[in-house]
Amino acid sequence: METMMKMLLKNKELPEGAVAIVKSLSESGDTALFAIVGDMSLGGRYGATTLLFTATKAVLYDESLSAPREYLYEDMEDVRAKRMYGNATLSAKMKGGKREIFFRYTYGVAPLCDAAALFISHLKEGKPFNEEYAIVSVAFEKALSVCPKCGRPLLHPGAECIMCRSKKKIVKQLSGYILPHTKTLIFCIFLSLFTTFMALVPPAITGFIVDVVFSDGESSVSLLNMIANAFKGEPKKVLTAMIILLLCTYVLQYGVGIIRSYLMRTVGNKTVAALRNDIYRKAQYLPMKFYDKTSTGSVINRISGDSSTLQQFMLRITQEAVVHLFQLVGIVVIMISMNPGLTLLSLLPIPFIVLASRFFSKKIRPLYRRIWRRWTKVSSVMADTIPCIKVVKSFTGEQRSTAVFEEKNKDWLDMELHLGKIVTAFPQIISFCVTCGSLIIWGVGGGKVIDGVGGYSAGLIVSFISYASMFYNPVTFFANLSDSFQGALASTEKILDILEAEPEIELPNSVTPDHLQGKIEFNHVSFSFDRTKKVLDDVTFTIEPGEVVGIVGTTGSGKSTLVNLLMRFYDGYSGEILVDGHNIKNFNLSGYRSQIGYVQQEPQMFSDTIFNNIAYSVPGSTVEDVMAAADTANAHGFICRQPDGYDTMLGERGVGVSGGEKQRLSIARAVLMRPSMLIFDEATAAVDSETEHLIQDAIDKLIEGKTTLMIAHRLSTLRRANRILVVDNGHIIENGTPEELMALKGKYYKLVQIQSMTADAERMRREERF
């Protein structure tokens, strides 16, 4: 029994009721092979459910049903897993021909149910049991490759979940930025200790001046007594000596302070620079999935704003915290040695300050986060509309976008004002407490001086008041530390979101392809961006090396997604993609991508010269290589006609050249790196026919002997294709040579008919005109 439960594939621990069913199954000689633990009853309410699968039947356990239900595979026809909205179902045509839903679940277990539906269908088709069971096992393995604690998908099965790792590691990661400066920081701490010590001297001297110089009393500080004895009877001289002593302390205190501040500033700037570098570098390697979900504005904000907040905090912790701690201890020691009773009195307000700080920190932390979120919204409005200013203007949206901005900005302001009340009130309240503390010293200590109580003198009170006010300084620092700690925590969270996000997956022993033959195989590839809708569904095809493949299909059918997967922009698909017989996930990412010339529908240019834009694919290219590439792409001609030639600066996103010219530049960019495979994603969709001809000509020169994928709307673009894939709604519905597909009289045939009709009509119109 024990071993059987272990053998059973499951996504979670089974509920008790389901365990009972497993037991009774095994008693009746049957074996439960796998179990999908769900979370929803058939009626759509939350509750524990389990669907158990044996070789011949499925058994449903549902705590809201009185008895388990059995579904024999032989009674089921056309088993389907259907994703709806927020829930999904398994259904089948049962005996009698009616479709019946036998399992309802939320998206969490959807991949398992997809696999289960295939399992039943394939068994019914008579496919070998072992193979089908193996496929299901893989699906379960994948389902387990999420963190058991937080449910996050892991890099590979069994990997440590980044989100659930210990705080220690986070501290370790952040301290990595401080460690290179350890020596300087330790030196700074020494400097700070020195200045702290210097700061402790003046109150002692002023006390001495009041007691000894002004009123000829006694002092407890032996060093000062020695100086006074040297000038016995000449108070003026003693006073001068004391003033010189004070001056020296001040010079030392502030002189060393200057050095320290300078060093600290240097370390701080270096730290923030290193942090920014890392975040930016990391951002470059984050998968497209990350950018689909995170606005670029918020990424930019994290690189610029949050990194400096965090840096400031790290320095506060390593420096000021240490110094203040020493100051605190030093002052308490001095005060107690001077007068323990008064010391206790002046400590009275401390508990109140600590309590207040805790209370405020609880309030402030969420507010900081909220401010940050508001600010991200403001900046993403900017990042959204300013680059699209042409659209804004052409549809007279200036007022609308201003209104949106003002609304977001107001949200931010409201929040900032709200927080402002709390943040500004806090230090004032603390200062108030401090002042009250000094009142206590004046009242009690002063009274004792008047009464002539032994051990109390005017000088003592004066230096005590100074020490006490210095004492509250570190206390307020620690109280306020929570405030800056909260800010830093909010920033850390944002930064770790990037620093610790999983980068594009690179397997440890990946191979670097030096040349690809260009055989491409898709095996049962399914993919969805957000799990709600499958964009590619069970796509299978093979492309032989050197083939020129046209991919056609309606807009939104998944053509671009297909090549995005081939480019490894997205990794979360099921099934396999092989190139030259290797799973592309095993390739070294940059090595692999540099073998593929990818020309996007929307050519993207940097604000740099034309030369650098082309040479972006192969940094350090020679002038002649770049010109040769431009020749091939039919771009050289128009570049020559630019007054600045190859030095023409393009504005942001390529302002300064036309759409067709940009497209030819992007082709030149792809040509330059001598790829083994080429992908054109509607490269000619947005240009006039003259330019299309030029681009087409460039493409023809380029594709000789290379595996080429061409996504195109205009079939004229595909005249060189010797294979056509027709994509429809995420499926490959037709696959063959153009002749075969014409003979098939399917979708491709229809497309050709429609387009040749419009071409005919156009020709006739033109003939009429001339």
Partner 1 sequence: MSRIYLSSADKVEKYENHLVKVTMADGSTVEGLEPRRLFPVTNPDAYITLLDESGVEIMVIRALSDLDKASAAVIETSLSDYYLVPRILRIISKAEKYGTLRWTVETDRGICSFDIRNRNHDIHVMRSGFVRVRDANDNRYVIEDCNKLDKHSYALLIADT
Ligand X SMILES: Nc1ncnc2c1ncn2[C@@H]1O[C@H](COP(=O)(O)OP(=O)(O)O)[C@@H](O)[C@H]1O
Q: Which residues bind Mg ion (CB under 5 A)?
A: 560
Decide if residue 416 touches partner 1 (CB under 8 A): no
Q: What does the binding site for ligand X look like in residue numbers (CB under 6 A)?
A: 292, 529-530, 535, 553, 555-561
Q: Would you say 370 or 582 has its CB closer to partner 1?
A: 370
- List the beta bridge partners of residue 709: 549, 679
Q: Which stretch binds partner 1 (CB under 8 A): 233-241, 368-376, 440-448, 615-623?
A: 368-376
Residue whose C-alpha is closest to residue 545's, from 512, 578, 568, 569: 578
Q: Which stretch binds partner 1 (CB under 8 A): 41-49, 220-228, 318-326, 605-613?
A: 41-49
CB of 601 to Mg ion, least distance (A): 6
Token look-up 């459910």 returns 49
Q: Would you say 420 or 556 has its CB closer to partner 1?
A: 556
Element (H, E) at 102: strand 99-105
Decide if residue 293 touches partner 1 (CB under 8 A): yes
Residue whose C-alpha is closest to residue 580's, from 525, 516, 676, 523: 516
Among 72, 163, 344, 759, binds partner 1 (CB under 8 A): 163
Partner from Mg ion, partner 1, ligand X, none binding residue 466, C-beta < 5-8 Å depending on class: none
Among 49, 192, 195, 294, binds partner 1 (CB under 8 A): 294
Among 12, 33, 39, 544, binds partner 1 (CB under 8 A): 39
CB of 668 to partner 1, least distance (A): 37
Q: Would you say 516 or 683 has its CB closer to ligand X?
A: 683
Q: Which residue is nearest to ligand X (CB)?
A: 560
Q: Which amino acid is at 742?
A: M
Decide if residue 572 touches partner 1 (CB under 8 A): no
Q: How far apart are the first and last CA of the chain?
A: 88
* Number of amino acids touching partner 1 (CB under 8 A): 43
Element (H, E) at 33: none
Partner from partner 1, ligand X, Mg ion, none binding residue 84, C-beta < 5-8 Å depending on class: partner 1
Q: Would you say 426 or 680 has its CB closer to ligand X?
A: 680
Decide if residue 164 touches partner 1 (CB under 8 A): yes
CA dist., res. 675 & res. 592, Å (int): 10
CA dist., res. 310 & res. 315, Å (int): 9
Decide if residue 421 touches partner 1 (CB under 8 A): no
Q: Is 527 exposed, middle or buried (0-12, 13-18, 19+ CB in 10 A)?
A: buried
Element (H, E) at 367: helix 350-385
CB of 110 to partner 1, least distance (A): 8
CB of 374 to ligand X, least distance (A): 26
Asked if 543 and 716 count as a contact pair (C-beta separation under 8 A), the reply is no
Among 142, 237, 270, 373, binds partner 1 (CB under 8 A): 373
CB of 681 to Mg ion, least distance (A): 6
CA dist., res. 470 & res. 358, Å (int): 22
Q: Would you say 306 or 692 has its CB closer to partner 1?
A: 306
Token look-up 């009123």 returns 215
Vertex 576, ends 162 and 702: CA angle to 5°? 110
User: How many Cβ atoms sit within 10 Å of the Cβ of residue 530?
Assistant: 10
Q: Would you say 100 or 625 has its CB closer to partner 1?
A: 100
Among 56, 78, 86, 262, binds partner 1 (CB under 8 A): 86
Residues 463-502 close enough to bind partner 1 by CB under 8 A: 493, 496-497
Q: Would you say 249 or 401 has its CB closer to partner 1?
A: 401
Q: Dihedral sign, CA of 68, 73, 74, 77?
A: positive
Among 237, 282, 369, 585, binds partner 1 (CB under 8 A): 369
CB of 425 to partner 1, least distance (A): 20
Asked if 726 and 748 count as a contact pair (C-beta separation under 8 A), the reply is yes
151: left (phi over 0), alpha (psi -120 to 50) or beta: left
Residue whose C-alpha is closest to residue 562's, from 577, 544, 548, 547: 577
Q: Is 296 exposed, middle or buried (0-12, 13-18, 19+ CB in 10 A)?
A: middle
Q: Would you say 23 or 93 has its CB closer to partner 1?
A: 93
| Angle, helices 321-338/340-347, rounded to nearest 10 degrees | 140
- List all residues 6 or more positions away from 647 whose beta carbon is below 8 Å from its beta carbon: 609, 610, 611
Q: Would you say 483 or 681 has its CB closer to Mg ion?
A: 681
CB of 564 to ligand X, least distance (A): 7
Partner from ligand X, Mg ion, partner 1, none binding residue 107, C-beta < 5-8 Å depending on class: partner 1
Asked if 350 and 475 count as a contact pair (C-beta separation under 8 A), the reply is yes
Q: Which two tokens stand for residue 71?
A: 């579904």
Decide if residue 376 touches partner 1 (CB under 8 A): yes
Q: Would you say 528 or 560 has its CB closer to Mg ion?
A: 560
Element (H, E) at 53: strand 46-53
Residue whose C-alpha is closest to residue 79's, from 106, 107, 108, 113: 113
CB of 161 to ligand X, least distance (A): 25
Q: Which stretch binds partner 1 (CB under 8 A): 80-88, 305-313, 426-434, 660-668?
A: 80-88
Decide if residue 85 touches partner 1 (CB under 8 A): yes
Q: Would you say 219 or 528 has its CB closer to partner 1?
A: 528
Q: Would you say 78 or 530 has its CB closer to ligand X?
A: 530
Cα-only R_g, the chain: 38
Q: Which two tokens stand for residue 471?
A: 């004492």
Q: Would you say 534 or 664 has its CB closer to ligand X?
A: 534
Asked if 256 and 194 count as a contact pair (C-beta separation under 8 A), the reply is yes
Q: Would you say 531 or 763 has its CB closer to ligand X?
A: 531
CB of 283 to partner 1, least distance (A): 16
Decide if residue 45 touches partner 1 (CB under 8 A): yes
**Residue 646 DSSP class:** G
CA dist., res. 706 & res. 13, Å (int): 51
Residues 673-732 close enough to bind partner 1 by CB under 8 A: 729
Q: Would you say 297 or 553 has its CB closer to ligand X?
A: 553
Token look-up 């996050």 returns 152
Partner from partner 1, ligand X, Mg ion, none binding residue 266, C-beta < 5-8 Å depending on class: none
Q: Give SS3 for 123.
A: helix
| Angle, helices 182-208/458-499, rounded to nearest 10 degrees | 160
CB of 686 to Mg ion, least distance (A): 12
CB of 742 to Mg ion, least distance (A): 25
CA dist., res. 748 & res. 599, Å (int): 24
CB of 658 to partner 1, least distance (A): 36
Q: Would you say 345 or 562 has its CB closer to ligand X?
A: 562
Among 106, 277, 435, 658, binds partner 1 (CB under 8 A): 106
- Rounded to whole angstroms, what are the CA distances from 192 to 187, 259, 267, 320, 649? 9, 10, 15, 8, 51
Q: Which two tokens stand for residue 228?
A: 């006074």
Among 150, 223, 354, 422, binds partner 1 (CB under 8 A): 150
Asked if 398 and 392 count as a contact pair (C-beta separation under 8 A), the reply is yes
Which residues of the shown chain bind partner 1 in the complex (CB under 8 A)? 39-40, 44-47, 84-87, 89, 91, 98-101, 106-108, 110, 149-152, 163-165, 170, 293-294, 298, 366, 369-370, 373, 376, 493, 496-497, 530-532, 729
